[in-house]
Copies of this chain bind each other. A is one copy, B any other.
Amino acid sequence: MDEFETIARLFVPLARGEPGAFGLGDDAALLTPRPGFDLVLTKDAIVGGVHFFPDDPPAAIGAKLMRVNLSDLAAKGASPRAFLLAAAIPPTVDEAWLAGFAAGIGADLDEFGGALVGGDTVSTPGPAVFSLTAIGEVPTGTMIRRAGARPGDLVCVSGTIGDAALYVAHRLRGVAVAGLDHLEERYRYPRPRLALGAALRGLARAGCDVSDGLVADLGHLCEQSGLGAVIEAGAVPLSPAARATLERAPGLLATILTGGDDYELVFALPPEADPAALTDVSVIGRFEQGQGVRVLDRAGSPLELDRTGWRHPVGRGEDAR
């Protein structure tokens, strides 16, 4: 397989006619932001056996790489504009696999916007490593930061929490779950909350995505905002599958609250805001003076969680930031 030809055939169409991509035929891409917009830049990497299962479909891996980055853009209120892909590919990867991977990226470009404008493809004797740089736009001065929450602000989350973590627990530890298909879909195809993120510009005082786990990511907002937060475990939104799983095994609450890979948004709304005006958003607590995240049960008693974050135990790697 001549890698130059493979790139030409598989990745060039992902430039989607973006003029600044030069058909991926130059050393660099050109990007001219629209007047009145800031650029938002993020970059996440995934490693085979660490961040995805080796038997995950290649299109799902391409989609996941896109979505972990799109989720960061969403959390910041940005709209996707351009991507750069670095792919370190082991000799075991063949062209059909790469075609599936590229198709997963392409489908997400079609659905969420933006174009592949550059990158690099190299070989590695190790597992596949992919890193994606995602560049989005926000109107000047409207990027949602981790810092900015105030005491009394509402702690809000989108969607449901814990599905992906339950899927991983099932795969790695044989944990019995209900609704496995739903959990697997949530793990493989997280939904970047781009529309919600855009709606939160000028409204949310702080926000990030739930990638490391709800408690850890809310902790990031607290740390950067110089605050603490208290949430009610019973208010955390669960899918029917997660709810049924939890009814059978209440001890999985810690997995749900601290597991990662949800790619929902957690954010601070001022107390006078109307969360019900936002689609698929739940209020789960309040920011408060202090530090750290307190989790209360239905009786108002503090819950001790056995871990505060999630570090991708699929392989032997750990994930930071």
Point out residues on A near B: beta carbons under 8 Å: 3-4, 6-7, 22, 24-33, 35, 38-47, 49-51, 72-73, 75-76, 78, 82, 84-88, 90-91, 117-127, 129, 131, 133, 135-136, 140, 143, 145-147, 208-209, 224, 312, 315-321
Contact = CB atoms under 8 A, between A and B. Distances in A.
A224 B315 contact: no
**Number of this chain's copies in the complex:** 2
B84 A41 contact: yes
Contacts of A147: 22, 25-26
Given A120-B43, A133-B133, A320-B3, A73 B28 contact: yes
Given A124-B47, A131-B120, A41 B29 contact: yes
The 10 closest A-B pairs by CB, nearest first: A126-B126, A123-B317, A86-B131, A3-B320, A28-B42, A45-B86, A43-B84, A133-B133, A129-B129, A31-B39
Contacts of A27: 42, 72, 75-76, 146, 208-209
Select the residue from A85, A135, A318, A320 with max chain B CB neighbours within 10 A: A320
Given A45-B120, A120-B45, A126-B125, A40 B30 contact: yes
A84 B135 CA distance: 11
A120 B25 CA distance: 27
Nearest to A317: B123
15 contacts: A26-B224, A27-B72, A28-B78, A29-B41, A32-B33, A32-B39, A41-B84, A44-B86, A45-B88, A47-B88, A51-B122, A123-B317, A124-B127, A124-B317, A125-B317
A42 B35 CA distance: 22
Contacts of A131: 45, 86, 88, 120, 131
A28 B41 contact: yes
Nearest to A207: B27
Nearest to A133: B133
Given A82-B41, A120-B44, A146-B25, A129 B30 contact: no
Contacts of A118: 41-43
A26 B122 contact: no
A121 B320 CA distance: 6
A132 to B, nearest CB: 9
A76 to B, nearest CB: 5
Given A31-B41, A43-B86, A88-B129, 20 more contacts: A26-B147, A26-B208, A27-B209, A28-B78, A30-B38, A31-B40, A39-B39, A41-B82, A43-B118, A43-B119, A43-B133, A45-B120, A47-B123, A47-B126, A51-B122, A120-B320, A122-B318, A124-B317, A125-B127, A125-B315
